[in-house]
Every structure is written in structure tokens, then in C-alpha cells.
Amino acid sequence: MNQSTLTTTALTVLRVVAGFLFAAHGWQKFNEFTIAGTQAAFSKMGVPAAEAVAPVIATLELVGGVALILGVLTRVFSALLALNMLGAFFLVHAPAGVFATNGGFELVLLLAAAGLAVALTGAGRLSVDRALFGRPGSKLSVLA
């Protein structure tokens, strides 16, 4: 395999796996925890405006995760998801240390890094963004 093929494969794997994990967490907030339960948990964790923030975060994670899997508006969603994880890092997980078993930040930091990496690189060749916006000279090529 040449470098371009390896890069395309690596970026696609990162985008799809991160998207799956974000979508799973959003789905969990809607279906397992419920929005009311997520609001209560966010309040208990000290998240500001938890009543308003919980449904927004659940929707961002679910819709943004699916968008990453498909490669739709990838730079926008991955940047928003990275910011979401940085918020979780600073507001909730940093004081607990590294390890997730103690409520730590290992997962949120990794997801933030994945979101940032995909925001910086774009969706890659195997994406809806590339099919829609990847034509040479397209004014929206920055989305591809």
C-alpha cells in the first residue's frame, strides 16, 4: 500500500470509530439514562445550566457521531465534539486523574484528540463530504 492509501485508511478508521463512540454515548443519554437522568447527572457533576446543556450534548453526540461515521460536515461536527470533550475534561474528569475507573479523563481526552485530528484533516477520501465538496475549485472544498 502506498502512503496515500494508508492515510485514507487510517483517517477513515479514526473517523468511523470515534463517530461510533460519540453516537453510542449520545444514544445512551437519550435511551439508557434519559434526558432527565442526564440533566440530573450533569447537575450533580457541577455542569453549568445542566437542564439546557444535557439535551444539546446528547443530540450533538448522537447526530455528530453519525455524521462522523458518514463523513458529513465532518470538520464542523468533529470540532464541536472535541470542544464537548474538552468541556467534560475541565468541568468533570480532570480532578479525578487519568483513569476512567476512577472517573478520570482518559476517554474524554482521547475522544477530544480524535475530534481535533479529524477536524484538522477533514473527512478524507471515503466520505460524503468528499463526494459533495471535493471537486477542484469548489468554494466549499474546505469542508472536504
- What pLDDT digit, counting tens, does each position of 52-77 carry? 999 999 999 999 999 999 999 999 99
Reported pTM: 0.93
Burial of 42 (0-12, 13-18, 19+ CB in 10 A): buried
Amino acid at 126: L
Is residue 137 scored above 90 in pLDDT? no
Q: Give the integer Cα–Cα distance in Å for 85 and 106.
A: 11
> How much is the pLDDT for 19?
98
Average pLDDT over the chain, rounded to an integer: 94
pLDDT bin (cut points 50, 70, 90) of residue 29 is very high
pLDDT bin (cut points 50, 70, 90) of residue 1 is low
φ, ψ for residue 136, nearest 5 deg: -60, 135
pLDDT bin (cut points 50, 70, 90) of residue 111 is very high
Distances in Å between the alpha carbon of 31 and those of 24, 92, 95, 102, 111? 10, 22, 28, 24, 21
* pLDDT tens-digit map of 97-109: 999 999 999 999 9
